[in-house]
Structure 1
Amino acid sequence: MNNFRTEPFLWIHLAGIAVAPLLLQLVWLGLAVGDPLPLFWLELLFVGSIGIIPILWMQWTRPFDFFSILLVCLKPESVTEQQRKILSLLKTRNLKILSGITSVILGAIAWQLYQWAPIASMTVTILPHWRLLGLMIAGVAFLLSNLFIQIPVSVLGVLLTSNQQWSNTQPYSTEKILSDFTVFGFRVNKIFFIPLSEDNS
């Protein structure tokens, strides 16, 4: 049986978490723009709703398809049996719970960034002193940071799958991939710089 943990796409998407600290710093800077509104919880609700809800909803209903890079993705018929088993793992209850826990942690991080935002106020003086602009910057950056954290967390969930669970996992139906997963990019038969994984026997 092949070791599914050597799947190149998993490690590529796991490495994406390196972008998250930069995005969270942008959230921090966005929250420093302008004067805070009297109802601070309204600002946090705004930023949190933009950043957390869309990505969490995606991971719960149509998880991100790992077998894509930038603007290209593998056609469903080109996804190997081993890769389709990985897709099946993304639909498990454990992965959904893991996504929910990650969202709670990210919400707590957003609260801490909000608390420390005044420290960054001198850094953003070049921007217009518009609070709504700052909240939009923070919201979009928080959305992207959620994406670049939730996907690697899902990868970790797959990598931590026991060998017994892996053996009992059935490959996901090729016909259902496009309807049940979020697939980005132009569909291709092969991404040339990534070797195709062999099917498990």
Structure 2
Amino acid sequence: MRSSWSEPFLWIHLAGLAVVPLFLGLCWVFLAVGDPQLPVWVEFLLVAGIGIAPILWMQLTRPFYIFSILVLAIKPSHLTSDQQRLLSLFKTPIHQWLASVGAILMLLVLWQIYQVAPLATIVGFPLTSRFLGLFLASLAFLASNLFLQVPLSVLLVLLTNETKLAATEPFPIVKIFQDFTVPGLQVNRILPIADKKLAVVNNDTPQITPKQG
């Protein structure tokens, strides 16, 4: 088994793919609200710009700091050398290429959703403002892009072979805040898994009793 597969943060963020259809569904519903007030291409570019541009820019310039969950992030100083190596993989050109491909894919998906938006009209839906609907659709589409782009980059790391990972230089701790988007509050640890592993290692390590003189 590849060592990267034992990193729980990678699997947690890969699971984010599961909510992409949910947010796309919300985007579809909100796009059906009200009657169009702007030209089709204006509405489409508005939702696409808000939903795609921020996430794509983040992944191209300062990728998402993977050692975080919701509003908590592990302090860079508490990362292991293996975790720093994983961070280095997120800064490779192939990740930028994959982020661009993901953005194009989502643009095509949005166009399909926009075209069939009237089918999602809900009778008696409390929201009637077209502009508010477009705004909420943009936020839902933004969330869908976030939960697609981050797992795509994680998947690429999980597929990295052990030889390449071992040859990767640990990412410098002092540059993490500069080169990654670190969300939320920094803490010493989030998951107890690492502590349990350390405990197992300590228990399995043979104890050497000094000879009595």
Mark yes or no: TM-score above 0.5. yes
Contact preservation (8 Å) 2:3, 2:162 = no
Deviates more, 1:106-115 or 1:189-198: 189-198
1:161 is matched with 160
Report 1:70-85 matches (<5 A).
70-85=70-85
Where do 5+ consecutive residues of structure 1 fail to align? none
Where do 5+ consecutive residues of structure 2 fail to align? 199-213
Shift of 1:38: 5.5
Report 1:145-160 matches (<5 A).
145-160=144-159
Q: Give the secondary structure class of the aligned counterpart of 2:160.
A: coil
Contact preservation (8 Å) 2:74, 2:188 = yes
1:16 is matched with 16
User: 1:151-177: per-residue Cα shift (whole Å, max 9, x none)?
Assistant: 111111111112332122111001011
Report 1:118-137 matches (<5 A).
118-121=118-121, 123=122, 125-137=124-136
Contact preservation (8 Å) 1:89, 1:158 = yes
Q: Distance in 1 between matches of 2:6 and 2:151?
A: 15
Shift of 1:2: 6.7
Q: Distance in 2 between matches of 1:124 and 1:96?
A: 42
Question: How many residues end up aligned between the 2 structures?
Answer: 197
* Counterpart amino acid of residue 14 in structure 2: L
Question: Closer, same or farther in 2 for the Cα pair 1:42/1:80, shift >3 Å?
Answer: same
Shift of 1:11: 0.2
- Kindly report the root-mean-square deviation, in angstroms, between the aligned alpha carbons of the 2 structures: 1.7
Q: Distance in 2 between matches of 1:34 and 1:95?
A: 39
Question: Closer, same or farther in 2 for the Cα pair 1:37/1:56, shift >3 Å?
Answer: same
Deviates more, 1:33-42 or 1:54-63: 33-42
Under a length normalisation based on structure 2, what TM-score does the superposition of the two structures give? 0.87
The reply to whether residue 183 of structure 1 matches residue 182 of structure 2 is yes
Report 1:12-91 matches (<5 A).
12-37=12-37, 39-91=39-91
Greater radius of gyration (CA): 2
Question: Closer, same or farther in 2 for the Cα pair 1:174/1:141, shift >3 Å?
Answer: same
Q: Distance in 2 between matches of 1:135 and 1:114?
A: 11
* Counterpart amino acid of residue 56 in structure 1: L
Deviates more, 1:81-90 or 1:154-163: 154-163
Deviates more, 1:100-109 or 1:165-174: 165-174
Contact preservation (8 Å) 2:26, 2:137 = yes
Q: Give the secondary structure class of the aligned counterpart of 1:109.
A: helix
Shift of 1:105: 0.3
Question: Closer, same or farther in 2 for the Cα pair 1:76/1:37, shift >3 Å?
Answer: same
Percentage of identical aligned residues: 49
* Counterpart amino acid of residue 190 in structure 1: R
Q: Give the secondary structure class of the aligned counterpart of 1:91.
A: coil
Q: Distance in 2 between matches of 1:13 and 1:145?
A: 13
Q: Distance in 1 between matches of 2:183 and 2:123?
A: 33
Question: Closer, same or farther in 2 for the Cα pair 1:145/1:163, shift >3 Å?
Answer: same
Contact preservation (8 Å) 1:33, 1:127 = no
Contact preservation (8 Å) 1:63, 1:90 = yes
